[in-house]
């Protein structure tokens, strides 16, 4: 039997076209050196997939491990990815959103339903 799924989280900043993948999510999919960001408009889902090697046709993102030693998340800037998410979700504003899902360690994949999208309230202090 495979390993059970693990809770996973990403944050998408629609204003800055930034995807922030939380360190525990990357750890749950095997601390990969390369990842792919995948979108399924039909399933209204997003996935992060660990990739073993770089192929010329693949759009992969290299994870710099030393950045993860000092940060709690890994940031990727992708205008096309964020615009695609905005197109699929339709009614979201250019703001910051959290997606929750499950990491499947044996598959090296984390899955997120767009139905889990929640606006992240700003952390400003008022006094």
In this predicted model, what pLDDT tens digit does every residue of 22-63 receive, in sequence order? 999 999 999 999 999 999 999 999 999 999 877 776 788 888
d(CA 99, CA 12): 8
Q: What is the pTM of this model?
A: 0.84
Asked if the structure places residue 87 within a domain, the reply is yes
Q: How many domains does the chain have?
A: 1
The residue segments making up the domain with residue 81 are 6-115
Tokens of 30: 């095997």
| Residue 127, in any domain of the structure | no
Kindly report, residue by residue over 79-88, the tens digit of the pLDDT. 998 988 888 8
Whether 95 is covered by a domain: the verdict is yes
Instruction: Say if 75 falls within a structural domain.
Output: yes
Determine, yes or no, domain membership for 106.
yes
Please give the Cα distance from 9 to 22 (Å, whole number). 6
* Two structure tokens written together for 20: 């922030």
The answer to whether residue 89 sits within a structural domain is yes
Cα separation, 114 vs 107, whole angstroms: 20
Residue 127 has pLDDT above 50, yes or no: no
């Amino acid at each position: 039997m495979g390993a059970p799924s693990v809770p996973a989280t990403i944050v998408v900043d629609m204003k800055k076209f930034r995807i922030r993948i939380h360190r525990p999510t990357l750890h749950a999919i095997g601390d990969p050196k390369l990842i792919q960001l995948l979108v399924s408009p039909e399933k209204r889902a997003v996935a992060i997939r660990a990739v073993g090697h770089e192929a010329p046709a693949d759009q992969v993102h290299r994870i710099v491990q030393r950045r993860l030693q000092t940060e709690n998340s890994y940031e990727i800037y992708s205008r096309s990815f964020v615009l695609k998410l905005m197109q699929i979700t339709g009614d979201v504003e250019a703001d910051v959103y959290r997606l929750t899902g499950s990491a499947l360690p044996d598959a090296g994949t984390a899955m997120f339903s767009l139905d889990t999208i929640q606006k992240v309230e700003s952390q400003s202090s008022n006094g």
